[in-house]
Chain A
């Protein structure tokens, strides 16, 4: 009876680890698209590496690096319309960037500035989620609203393999399927929830197959193959926009670095495994090979791109730190529409201390 479901246990892949794939399929992607996709991935990798360094230098707070997951994040967001909603967790910096979040604001966020939390008014990006899986329900509710209003945006929820163990994940998929709302659950299975490997997280053979239980379509895609991710996401978005309801996508990928700057992955992963993913399956590598074959990539070109991103990063960092504003006084304004008398008293106390320069 399970075969009534369209669930594919095979992994969608367009580009193998050596940059080869079905020629006809690959021919459907324009040169311009491939270059844009690759440049975003390269840019994201540079930014991630810079952020990691900055954390080590004490210039930003605890940071959750995403290197290794560029194809999953960028390939999926590039399939969206500008007005689609995304619900990021703390590891979706690349997805947020591609959806339009200014780099300077990302610096404000990672530097713990109040204003870094505020997504620009014209961007449908939900606040970055810290509690694992909580955003799955927000995305479902948001998509439900879209459907009730008769609008056409799709809501995309990002989360990791660990989130699929949370009750909210179950409730979100269940609600989404019951109400057939235009939401896409995009799981980046990066193999580890901090230190716990995915096989200790779930006994399911795949995460995608969990879709079966809720009555929605599930797809397993090679999350390090940006083209496969893009194509899968494009189909999911189209289906959701056409009223076909939610979908669960599992992008199989790998987090090359630590969970955050606070943990040491050598304690829970062996070097050989990491090396395998780094050397053989790096999402940037396989797209670069394709670009090279089409004459769209040279070493010099790459160096120029990297230099340009480095300049952009430096400029954005300077912009973010030059305009750093905000103090403890401000945070009281964001608790209620109108602060209560008791809250106002506390705010006034802080303002007095600020005048005496006792607080920032």
Chain B
């Protein structure tokens, strides 16, 4: 098995699916000749030609809106939104059109598109490049929302997303694109959408996270073990559909819950998880649920983003608070 980065795994997933199924096409800004601003689509134009890989006009609504028509008429488009902060320009086409084609046609039409987009902070981008907007789309019935945290998952989840009959928003933490390498099988494989991964088993506290923050949480959990706190770490991998069973089993075991995400706190997806846990397992809890998240401001300027993001100090403090109960 080769050791590759997440961006290579994403590239491999697309290449292999395009080889397997000629209906799979790629479109977006700079995805062709340039191979994507992060090189996610590198080499695809050369291998598959300009009838399957399209450098589109610069228009987010256009990219997603035409993908809908392409999908309904037989293709399986993978559309790239260059940075997630630009998705606001395509909100209608993604949340109100793609997500609802199946519903609006009472099942006659489906919309098998994947919208890939880098998201997440810590890499000193300009304004509106780093925002974590996943909650907007878990609030849009009909969409699936996938957020991998490593190369292995990224490949398996992306292949599953491409093969899925429903529109999938596939959010790639840009900070992790090249942060580390891991062994990834060369052959194609699927990781089912809606199945969380237990990163580390533990008895004392459940830490639920996804996407960009998972490696930090995993690292801190390993360090805490040495200090006597045995945390269970869950990487959700997919917010819609949500693996509620894995969450509940862990919560019932540990009785303490921390949720870590990059997006702003109010109405973040962490709030949904906290509500689900309180509906289902309030009396299993030994302490109030703690959330460590971005603050309720627009994503900040580079000089202060490390303090804004959920960082080691805030996560450790959150666990200490939970353990005091």
Task: Enumerate chain A interface residues (CB-CB to B < 8 A).
Answer: 85, 114-119, 121, 126-128, 131, 134, 136-146, 148-149, 155, 167-168, 171-172, 174-175, 178, 331, 333-337, 340-343
In the bound complex, do residue A142 and residue B104 qualify as a contact, i.e. CB atoms below 8 Å apart?
A: no
In the bound complex, do residue B92 and residue A145 qualify as a contact, i.e. CB atoms below 8 Å apart?
A: no
In the bound complex, do residue A117 and residue B105 qualify as a contact, i.e. CB atoms below 8 Å apart?
A: yes
Residue of B nearest to A336 (CB): B166
In the bound complex, do residue A141 and residue B104 qualify as a contact, i.e. CB atoms below 8 Å apart?
A: no
Known contacts being A141-B70, A144-B70, is A118 close to B61, with CB within 8 Å? Answer: no
In the bound complex, do residue A336 and residue B142 qualify as a contact, i.e. CB atoms below 8 Å apart?
A: yes
Number of B interface residues at 8 Å Cβ cutoff, please give it: 46
In the bound complex, do residue B106 and residue A341 qualify as a contact, i.e. CB atoms below 8 Å apart?
A: no
In the bound complex, do residue A115 and residue B61 qualify as a contact, i.e. CB atoms below 8 Å apart?
A: no
In the bound complex, do residue A134 and residue B102 qualify as a contact, i.e. CB atoms below 8 Å apart?
A: no
Task: Give chain B nearest CB distance to A337 CB in angstroms.
Answer: 4
Q: How long is the Cα–Cα vector from A181 to B105 in the complex, in angstroms? A: 24
Q: How long is the Cα–Cα vector from A134 to B99 in the complex, in angstroms? A: 13
In the bound complex, do residue A140 and residue B105 qualify as a contact, i.e. CB atoms below 8 Å apart?
A: no
Residue of A nearest to B167 (CB): A336
Give the 3 A-B residue pairs with the shortest CB-CB distance, closest first: A141-B69, A137-B65, A340-B241
Chain B residues, CB < 8 A from A168 = 61-62, 65, 92-93
Q: Is B109 an interface residue (CB 8 A)?
A: yes
In the bound complex, do residue B144 and residue A178 qualify as a contact, i.e. CB atoms below 8 Å apart?
A: no
Task: Give chain B nearest CB distance to A116 CB in angstroms.
Answer: 8
Q: How long is the Cα–Cα vector from A142 to B67 in the complex, in angstroms? A: 8
Q: Is B51 an interface residue (CB 8 A)?
A: yes
Q: How long is the Cα–Cα vector from A140 to B72 in the complex, in angstroms? A: 12
In the bound complex, do residue B242 and residue A342 qualify as a contact, i.e. CB atoms below 8 Å apart?
A: yes
Q: How long is the Cα–Cα vector from A138 to B96 in the complex, in angstroms? A: 13
In the bound complex, do residue A131 and residue B92 qualify as a contact, i.e. CB atoms below 8 Å apart?
A: yes
In the bound complex, do residue A335 and residue B103 qualify as a contact, i.e. CB atoms below 8 Å apart?
A: yes
Residue of B nearest to A143 (CB): B69
Q: Is B66 an interface residue (CB 8 A)?
A: yes
Q: Which of B75, B101, B276 contacts A148 (CB 8 A)?
A: B75
In the bound complex, do residue B57 and residue A131 qualify as a contact, i.e. CB atoms below 8 Å apart?
A: no
Q: List 26 A-B contacts (CB under 8 A).
A: A117-B104, A118-B105, A118-B106, A118-B108, A127-B104, A131-B97, A134-B93, A137-B62, A138-B66, A140-B65, A141-B66, A141-B68, A141-B69, A141-B70, A141-B73, A145-B70, A168-B92, A175-B59, A334-B102, A334-B103, A335-B102, A335-B141, A336-B142, A336-B166, A337-B166, A342-B242
Chain A residues, CB < 8 A from B141 = 335
Residue of B nearest to A174 (CB): B57
In the bound complex, do residue B70 and residue A342 qualify as a contact, i.e. CB atoms below 8 Å apart?
A: no
Chain B residues, CB < 8 A from A142 = 69-70, 72-73
Chain B residues, CB < 8 A from A171 = 57, 59, 61-62, 65
Chain A residues, CB < 8 A from B93 = 134, 137, 168
Q: How long is the Cα–Cα vector from A162 to B110 in the complex, in angstroms? A: 28
In the bound complex, do residue B106 and residue A174 qualify as a contact, i.e. CB atoms below 8 Å apart?
A: no
In the bound complex, do residue B241 and residue A342 qualify as a contact, i.e. CB atoms below 8 Å apart?
A: yes
Task: Give chain B nearest CB distance to A215 CB in angstroms.
Answer: 12
In the bound complex, do residue B245 and residue A341 qualify as a contact, i.e. CB atoms below 8 Å apart?
A: yes
Residue of A nearest to B113 (CB): A141
Residue of B nearest to A167 (CB): B61
Task: Give chain B nearest CB distance to A178 CB in angstroms.
Answer: 6
Known contacts being A131-B97, A137-B66, A340-B241, is A145 close to B57, with CB within 8 Å? Answer: no
Q: How long is the Cα–Cα vector from A137 to B101 in the complex, in angstroms? A: 14
In the bound complex, do residue B61 and residue A119 qualify as a contact, i.e. CB atoms below 8 Å apart?
A: no
In the bound complex, do residue A145 and residue B194 qualify as a contact, i.e. CB atoms below 8 Å apart?
A: no
Most B CB atoms within 10 A — which of A141, A148, A341? A141
Residue of B nearest to A334 (CB): B103
Task: Give chain A nearest CB distance to B73 CB in angstroms.
Answer: 4
Q: Which of B61, B103, B104, B109 contacts A137 (CB 8 A)?
A: B61
In the bound complex, do residue B65 and residue A114 qualify as a contact, i.e. CB atoms below 8 Å apart?
A: no
In the bound complex, do residue A144 and residue B144 qualify as a contact, i.e. CB atoms below 8 Å apart?
A: no
Task: Give chain A nearest CB distance to B182 CB in angstroms.
Answer: 29
A134-B93, A145-B70 known; 18 new pairs, CB 8 Å cut-off, are: A117-B104, A119-B105, A121-B108, A126-B109, A127-B109, A136-B65, A137-B65, A142-B70, A146-B73, A148-B25, A168-B61, A175-B57, A335-B103, A337-B164, A341-B244, A342-B244, A342-B276, A343-B241
Known contacts being A118-B107, A127-B105, A134-B96, is A175 close to B73, with CB within 8 Å? Answer: no
Q: Which of B57, B69, B74 contacts A149 (CB 8 A)?
A: B74
Known contacts being A119-B105, A336-B142, is A138 close to B240, with CB within 8 Å? Answer: no
Chain B residues, CB < 8 A from A134 = 65, 92-93, 96-97
Task: Give chain A nearest CB distance to B107 CB in angstroms.
Answer: 5
In the bound complex, do residue B244 and residue A141 qualify as a contact, i.e. CB atoms below 8 Å apart?
A: no
Q: Mark B66-96, 1 if CB is under 8 A from A, else 0.
A: 1111111111000000000000000011001
List which B224-270 residues lie within 8 A (CB) of chain A. 240-242, 244-245
In the bound complex, do residue B105 and residue A175 qualify as a contact, i.e. CB atoms below 8 Å apart?
A: no
In the bound complex, do residue B142 and residue A174 qualify as a contact, i.e. CB atoms below 8 Å apart?
A: no
Residue of A nearest to B143 (CB): A336
Q: How long is the Cα–Cα vector from A117 to B206 in the complex, in angstroms? A: 44
Chain B residues, CB < 8 A from A331 = 103
Chain A residues, CB < 8 A from B110 = 337
Most A CB atoms within 10 A — which of B66, B108, B194? B66
Q: Is B311 an interface residue (CB 8 A)?
A: no
Residue of A nearest to B62 (CB): A171
Task: Give chain B nearest CB distance to A179 CB in angstroms.
Answer: 8
Chain B residues, CB < 8 A from A334 = 102-103, 106-107
In the bound complex, do residue A174 and residue B62 qualify as a contact, i.e. CB atoms below 8 Å apart?
A: yes
Q: How long is the Cα–Cα vector from A328 to B75 in the complex, in angstroms? A: 32
Chain B residues, CB < 8 A from A337 = 102, 110, 164-166
Q: Is B34 an interface residue (CB 8 A)?
A: no
